[in-house]
Chain A
Amino acid sequence: MNDFRYLPGVSTLRLKEDLCIGCGACVEVCPHQVFSVNESKATIVDLDGCMECGACALNCPVAAITVSPGVGCASYIIQTWIKGKGAVIECC
């Protein structure tokens, strides 16, 4: 996916390395190879590759990862602007 890069510096992905137990689940589920695990700790190697799908945060056994997941879809975001976050939104 290196020929497809989206806007830099916007991802909400954060990793608390002190909590990480190096299980590798985040490496397994991430479809953009954002993480790598060395010496039983995960590191973020490609923050701008993150599309905020939330798979890593959901599957980390020790909740070391946070990200605000969502749908990268314009009509969805317009509806959140109008109805407010958390409202029931029909997706595209």
Chain B
Amino acid sequence: MFQPKPDNEPCCGSPPGPPSSPDERPGYRLCSFVERFVATPEGVTPQVKTRLGLRDWLGTLRARLGIRRDHYRVAPGLYAAGSPCADSPVLVTANYKLSFDVLRRELTGANVWIVVLDTRGVNVWCAAGKKTFGTDELIDRVKAVGLARIVNHRELVLPQLGAPGVDGNRVRKTCGFKVVWGPIRARDLKKFLDSGKQAEPQMRQLSFSLGERLVLVPVELSLLVTPSLWIVLAIVVLSAVGPTFSLALTWLRVVEMTMAYAVGVVSGAVVVPLMLPWLPWRSFYLKGGLVGLVGGLAVTLGRGVGESRVLAMILVCMTVSSYAAMNFTGATPYASPSGVEKEMRRGIPLQVVALVIALALWVGGRFWS
């Protein structure tokens, strides 16, 4: 039979936590970045925290490492930062959680509305290139959240890097809102808003600092994990090929060639991005080839360069580094597609030739030495 406990009797376990938030609803989860809900003429809208919590930092780290990066998103729609009113500015961003976090972190003390577009969890710039941060999505989202009834002005502040996807003239003609191009970097936003939405030239100019290059490296590496597994498998198979089979020799060859490959990857996907401004030549395949040569010489140090397998290792290192560096063009904010195509027409044939020679030396070397 149920016996209610007297109030003063201690219950088992730890003391109870704080009460549930009044904003919690059955079946809905309160996102950790939402402070509370604020009323608008179109219903309630979440007010975001402008300080990042532990969960946000862990999520940022995970996304930077490339783990489930495509699933790191927030729900598109309207959010509030601070306590915006009908005259407050409206900022537009992508629903990639990292872009969203960078934005709200810069909004401490500001009172603004944020319209989040559905870019399928892709950052503003890449989404603009793919047109998901695009004119139609913007027009539809502004209508869907009922923005015209929430604010009494007709202005949207968009990140400048969204411009390849959004036709500002068409937005104004179709939904009556004028597009104002904000600064490239979120950290300039407050200054931009405080100065009457005037961007200084430096706010409109892209940069590519060491820090900006550094955060790209883990993603570059994570993209290489799956192909690398296949390549190592191929190395194992090719290492066994020879006139006679020897387990010790095969093992040695697997280790040597895997090392050459790994140094090539590090040269092209880590060293080239970090040392970019100081490496000679403009073509990335040449920069990568050069760093790969240095890496290849380092990894084969102390071995006779005349030996065919040593030459093969150096060539593999150069080729892998050259290709990885060429692939990095996609992550830079200054390589043009026409330029990349031009360097690929020169680089890829050279890479193929180097690889064929390397294979011939490496596998063939066992038959003639």
Q: Which residues of A contact B (CB under 8 A)?
A: 1, 3-8, 10-12, 25, 28-33, 49-55, 58-59, 61, 68-78, 91-92
Within 8 A of A (CB), among B106-158: 126, 128-130
With a cutoff of 8 Å between Cβ atoms, the chain B residues found around residue A5 in the complex are 282, 334
Given A29-B181, A54-B164, CB of A92 within 8 Å of CB of B223: yes
Q: Quick check: B338 and A11 within 8 Å, CB to CB?
A: yes
Q: Which residues of B contact A (CB under 8 A)?
A: 126, 128-130, 160-161, 163-169, 181, 184, 199, 201, 204-208, 223, 276-277, 282-283, 323, 326-327, 329-344
Pairs A–B under 8 Å by Cβ, sample size 23 = A1-B333, A5-B334, A6-B336, A10-B339, A10-B342, A25-B168, A28-B199, A31-B205, A32-B334, A33-B204, A51-B335, A53-B164, A55-B163, A58-B164, A68-B338, A69-B129, A72-B339, A72-B340, A74-B329, A75-B327, A75-B330, A77-B340, A92-B327
Question: Which of B129, B277, B283, B330 contacts A3, CB < 8 Å?
Answer: B277
CB-based nearest B residue for A50: B336
Query: A-side binding surface: helix, strand, loop or mixed?
Result: loop
With a cutoff of 8 Å between Cβ atoms, the chain B residues found around residue A1 in the complex are 205-208, 333-334
Interface centre among B169, B277, B344 (most CB of A within 10 A): B169
Q: Quick check: B167 and A58 within 8 Å, CB to CB?
A: yes
Query: B-side binding surface: helix, strand, loop or mixed?
Result: helix
Question: Which of A11, A59, A78 contacts B163, CB < 8 Å?
Answer: A59
With a cutoff of 8 Å between Cβ atoms, the chain A residues found around residue B333 in the complex are 1, 31, 51
Q: How far is the CA of A35 from the CA of B168 in the complex (A)?
A: 18
Q: Quick check: B130 and A59 within 8 Å, CB to CB?
A: no
Q: Quick check: A77 and B206 within 8 Å, CB to CB?
A: no
Q: How far is the CA of A23 from the CA of B332 in the complex (A)?
A: 29
Q: How far is the CA of A31 from the CA of B125 in the complex (A)?
A: 11
User: B70 → chain A, closest Cβ, in Å?
Assistant: 11
Q: Quick check: B276 and A4 within 8 Å, CB to CB?
A: yes
CB-based nearest A residue for B165: A58
Closest 10 CB pairs of A and B: A73-B330, A55-B163, A70-B337, A29-B163, A72-B335, A7-B339, A52-B336, A10-B338, A31-B206, A53-B164
With a cutoff of 8 Å between Cβ atoms, the chain A residues found around residue B168 in the complex are 25, 59
User: A72 → chain B, closest Cβ, in Å?
Assistant: 4
Given A7-B342, A58-B167, CB of A32 within 8 Å of CB of B205: yes
